[in-house]
Amino acid sequence: MQEEEVIYELRTPFEYAYKGDYRTAKFITLSPPTVSNMALIARLKQGFMQAMAGDDSKRNSGQQPAGDSDDDSGIDSLTGDMVMALISMSKVDYAGYMETVKAVFTGGRPSAVSDVAKVDGEEPLNSTLLDKMTASDLESMAGKFIHTFIVTSALRTMQM
Supply the pLDDT for residue 47.
Answer: 95
Q: Where are the domains of the chain?
A: 6-159
Which residues lie across from 117 on neighbouring strands? 30
Reply yes or no on whether the pLDDT at 74 is more than 90.
Answer: no
* pTM for this prediction: 0.83
Mean pLDDT of all residues in 2-10: 87
In contact, 44 and 51? CB cutoff 8 Å? no
Mean pLDDT of all residues in 48-56: 84
Supply the pLDDT for residue 70.
Answer: 45
pLDDT band at 69 (very low <50, low <70, confident <90, very high): very low
Q: CA separation (Å) from 9 to 17, 19, 36, 116, 146?
A: 19, 22, 26, 15, 16
Helix (H, G, I), strand (E, B) or coil at 130: helix
Model pLDDT for residues 14-43, shown as the tens digit of each residue: 999 988 999 999 999 999 998 888 899 999
CA 109 to chain centre: 18
Reply yes or no on whether the pLDDT at 96 is more than 50.
Answer: yes
Supply the pLDDT for residue 160.
Answer: 54
CA quadruple 104, 3, 151, 122: dihedral positive or negative?
positive
In contact, 44 and 100? CB cutoff 8 Å? yes
pLDDT band at 67 (very low <50, low <70, confident <90, very high): very low
| Cβ neighbourhood burial of 153 (10 Å; 0-12, 13-18, 19+) | middle
Q: Residue 146 — φ and ψ, nearest 5°?
A: -65, -45
